[in-house]
Amino acid sequence: MNRQFQSSPGGRPLRGLFVSGTGTDVGKTVALAALLRACLKAGVRVRPVKPVQTGVSGPDDARGDAAVYAAAVAGLGNAVAPATLRRFVMPASPHLAAGREGVHLDVESLRAAVLRHWEGDEDAQGLLLEGAGGLHVPLNDSEDMLDLMESLGLPVLLVGGNYLGGINHLLLSVEAVAARGLTLAGVILSDTQPVAREDEDTLAIRKDNEALLRRRLDERGAQLVLLPFEPDLHSEPRASLAWQALADVCAPLVETVRRACDPCAGEEAAARIEDMQERDRQSLWHPYTSATEPLPVFVMARSRRNRLALADGRELVDGMSSWWTAVHGYNHPRLTAALRRQAGRMPHVMFGGITHEPAVLLAERLLDLLPEGLDRVFFADSGSVAVEVALKMALQYQQGMGRKEKSRFLTPRGGYHGDTLGAMSVCDPVTGMHTLFRGVLAQQIFMERPSCRFDASFDPSCLDDARRAFEEHGHEIAAVILEPVVQGAGGMWFYHPAYLRGLAELCREHGALLIFDEIATGFGRTGKMFALEHAGVAPDILCCGKALTGGIMTLAATVCSQRVAEGICHGGQVFMHGPTFMGNPLACSVALASLDLLAGGAWQRQVAALESSLRTGLSPCADMPGVADVRVLGGIGVVETEQPVNMAALQAFFVQRGVWIRPFNRLIYLMPPYVSHAEDIARLCDAVRAAVMEKKI
């Protein structure tokens, strides 16, 4: 299946193959040139493109790969128009050669150059892209050729040398391609040097390489082609015959190229997408939607950095971080590498009576990040479960201290804490999406939400309703639970940090615990590592999750003070909770890698840049009809409308604009991955402004 990742700016899906090698001098250019000749002879109009070429001085340099392509098709009468998009003189890696000339290469610019070239070549059915060197040849300090291949998403044709050690390089390259989710179109095993018939050892190695590789590729459904050494490629007049001999060898791959370049593939893909959507409607139930009249769904194919690719080839700028989680962007190599390492060692083990290094290290790292006084980490499966754990901790603590009458929770309106029963009971009874269950939920105590805006002067009277609640119910309040500074799904409201300081004093006066739900706000989203840092307040219990693993795995944690832990265990009691996948080693390992990325400190600069771009992009909405409020904090931007939005229509509008934004109720909000560039934030904000101006809300 040709899984095109990126459509060009004009909307034409990129088609073709990406030809890469196991390293330099493995015959990659000759193999591509021979395949090019075979395709043109068969009527498949493909164009050879070299995104980066080093060791050449200009377009007429005979050392360039374009000269080899031209030689291979000499006499055919086809206009090949080979292209080299970036050239550098130094014969070295693109990273080093470009740096020598003061140029910084990156995947985004190279991808854009490929797509511009494709868009301008309307006669081509597809491109044969040739990489520089091997898969991991560096383009810059953090990106390599495989990153470019992944960004384009074309099927990959690997070329490797048929010599001692070559099979190892090929199989490693095959695994690397598979690990990126790319399709392996085939392998060309190239004889790079002539071998005398009497050299029985070398001949045996080549034959064994072929047999072993063929078996491995048969398991993957990929073709193997043996490309012999041709001594006459540069010898006139025999060169044309030599190239044709190699083209004949590559002929079995022509059909693979034809399929990869077939314009009808778009129609087939559309039919598959419609089929997938229909099967989805018949078998799946999506969050917050009807099973009988579901909202439309968009079929995704791939993700990369801050991009989501639809199965139809369109690419969307992500504005949601997959509900607050993917702060480092998608497919981050350090996170996926941590996942693979741990998967090969120990994917899971029960946490009852057993411990392991990833869990211990993660607990220590979390405690180092959190305020002094939080001492014990309890791992959970998800944010909702972490809240359930926190509520149970508070209740068991009060019982352990002999205060059984303290069995209810105080919480502000406008809050949201999850969808399990206990968590639902402390969500806003009106805006918290759980009014249907009011009759069966534990009856908690609600106070007015903090009325003091984050960006305004603090008014102590905003605590009056909290004081009233404690005066009336202080004897029965086990704990106060709230989201510090930012109320999330209950209303996306940003309130003044001083409110938390006053609330903490009230809790201490009345013997109630203070629970902070940092599931959405933790790990940098508000401009602080945890939102509580805005107020300088430490809770008795804290919940975190979502961004903990950078969006790779589900994992959450409930952290409490030693005082709470001792109160729960008073009199020989134990805490009565134990998730099956508690402390999952895979999730813990990925979380450690995510915390390593955060420890580098780049997130602070990134979130500050997000805040600036979001303010610039969204502030014009404040004066538009139908808008009630605009607010921005850290990496969160909110446009609150006067009336509930038509979510299905607005979602479709955003996708048409090339962005992924998931509004709800009266809120159009953005929380992009930290790695998003200013241009992408501008694109997200442009789409929001357009939705308001064109009355799509």
- pLDDT tens figures, 252-285: 999 999 999 987 666 777 888 899 999 999 999 9
Q: What is the DSSP string of 166-188?
A: HHHHHHHHHHHHHHTT--EEEEE
Annotated catalytic residue: which of 25, 207, 248, 288?
288
Q: Is 54 helix (H, G, I), strand (E, B) or coil?
A: strand
Residue that is written with structure tokens 């903990």 in the block? 548
Burial class (CB in 10 A: 0-12, 13-18, 19+), 181: middle
Q: Give the pLDDT confidence score for residue 263 in this predicted structure.
A: 75
Q: Is 438 helix (H, G, I), strand (E, B) or coil?
A: coil
Torsion of CA 655, 657, 661, 665, to 10 degrees: -90
Pick from 446, 606, 501, 334: nearest CA to 438: 446
Annotated catalytic residue: which of 416, 495, 669, 674?
416
Residue that is written with structure tokens 């099956």 in the block? 580
Strand partners of residue 128: 17, 48
Q: Give the pLDDT confidence score for residue 436 in this predicted structure.
A: 76
Annotated catalytic residue: which of 517, 528, 680, 696?
517
Q: Is 163 a catalytic residue?
A: no
Query: Could you tell me the pTM of the whole model?
Result: 0.88
Annotated catalytic residue: which of 546, 669, 674, 696?
546
Q: Give the pLDDT confidence score for residue 433 in this predicted structure.
A: 62
> What pLDDT digit, counting tens, does each position of 636-657 carry?
999 999 999 999 999 999 999 9
- Fold topology of 333-599: Aspartate Aminotransferase; domain 2 (3.40.640)
Q: Which residues of the chain have pLDDT under 50?
A: 1-10
Write down the CATH number for the domain with range 16-261: 3.40.50.300
Written as six digits, the tokens of 344 are 């090969």
Pick from 419, 409, 476, 471: nearest CA to 446: 409
- Fold topology of 602-693: Aspartate Aminotransferase, domain 1 (3.90.1150)
Alpha helices (H) along 75-144:
94-100, 107-120
Domain spans of the chain? 16-261, 333-599, 602-693
Q: Give the pLDDT confidence score for residue 11 in this predicted structure.
A: 60
Q: Is 669 a catalytic residue?
A: no
Taking only Cα atoms into account, the Rg of the chain, rounded to an integer number of angstroms, comes to 30
Question: Checking phi first, is residue 41 left (phi over 0); if not, alpha (psi -120 to 50) or beta?
Answer: alpha
> Cα–Cα distance between 275 and 514 in angstroms, integer?
50
Q: Is 288 a catalytic residue?
A: yes
Q: Is 392 a catalytic residue?
A: no
Strand partners of residue 165: none
Alpha helices (H) along 401-438:
421-425
